[in-house]
Amino acid sequence: MRATVILGLGTSPADLKPFQDGTPTQWLEGLPVSSSDADVILIFGGDGTIHRHLPALVRLHLPVLIVPAGSGNDFARALKLHSVRDSLRVWRDFESGNIQPQAVDVGVIVPSASPERTYYFCCVAGCGLDAAAARRANQMPRWLRGHGGYALALLPLLHKLPASLMRLTQFNGAEHTETEEHTLLAAFANTQFYGDGMRIAPEADFADGKLDICRISKLSPLKLLSMFPTVYFGRHLLLPEVEYSRAERVHVQAEIPLEIYADGEFVCETPAEISVAAGALRVIRPS
């Protein structure tokens, strides 16, 4: 078997050694040019590293094993890979043929201003409050981002970021619904988690061919602050100001263009259409 390795920021060949010990696998470094050049891809890194390589991963459609080694590891968390040890155990099972790759969805963003462009994401795309927090978090040192940086970036924004008039048009087959209201945050989720463990979309399933949409309307700063801890447990869905739905695709438009971040990275501005590519990524995960 031929395995190719992507080493994200802060990782080194030394991190690969436990995976190499005692195996007959041939090891290569970097993305293969075509799917015939390798049998599997290992990514040592976090959501940002995965996000940057998603176009190639979707194109190659090779099995991918994530080794959580980034400042944010929400996609690995969704795969139930909580540590390097988890990934090593799954790797041994895969090498021995005891588990098979599973096809999962990836998110797709197409900006209206550049419809020829396609952006992929593995976890969650969002605009409003969470996009502003992601922008602030990206300016922090890497070690701080990996130790609650997103929450630290978000907290100062809770009392000063205004809600924006936002129109969401959701499509399910031939049916569609349209809502327009002042919105503090809109998250379009392929997985449950973002922001290093926040369960913004606790019912999301990355194998159902749909996005889970969490929309939070205007809240007082005090109520927003009290709601913040509940997002880690998914209990924010109990609030009347939180709307939760599921759609095959959604068109998002704001009165004033808003930045869209996905997997913690800037993608584009609204308006844009967001959907999923069903089964576009093959992952190795615990059985």
Angle of the 84-95 helix axis to the 13-20 helix axis, nearest 10: 40
Same-domain pairing of 34 and 60? yes
Mean pLDDT, rounded, for 236-248: 94
- Give the residue, 156 or 147, on which the prediction is more confident: 156
| pLDDT at residue 9 in the model | 86
Domain contains 284: no
Same-domain pairing of 124 and 165? yes
pLDDT tens-digit map of 71-92: 889 999 999 999 999 999 999 9
| CA–CA gap between residue 190 and residue 106 (Å, rounded) | 7
- The reported pTM is 0.90
Domain contains 147: yes
Domain edge (last residue) among 84, 104, 124: 104
**Does 139 have pLDDT greater than 70?**
no
Torsion of CA 148, 153, 157, 162, to 10 degrees: -110
Q: pLDDT exceeding 70 applies to what percent of the chain?
A: 89
**Does 285 have pLDDT greater than 90?**
yes
Same-domain pairing of 17 and 73? yes
Same-domain pairing of 98 and 136? no
- Give the residue, 170 or 184, on which the prediction is more confident: 170
* Enclosing domain of residue 45: 2-104
What is the total count of domains within the chain? 2
Domain contains 287: no
Tokens of 175: 């049916």
| CA–CA gap between residue 109 and residue 91 (Å, rounded) | 31
Same-domain pairing of 13 and 82? yes
- Give the residue, 132 or 111, on which the prediction is more confident: 111
Domain edge (last residue) among 83, 104, 125: 104
CATH number at residue 275: 2.60.200.40
Distances (CA, A) of 77 to 72, 123, 158, 205: 10, 10, 26, 13
| pLDDT at residue 22 in the model | 83
Same-domain pairing of 96 and 122? no
Q: What is the mean pLDDT of the chain?
A: 89
Q: In this structure, are strands 40-45 and 2-7 parallel, antiparallel, or unpaired?
A: parallel
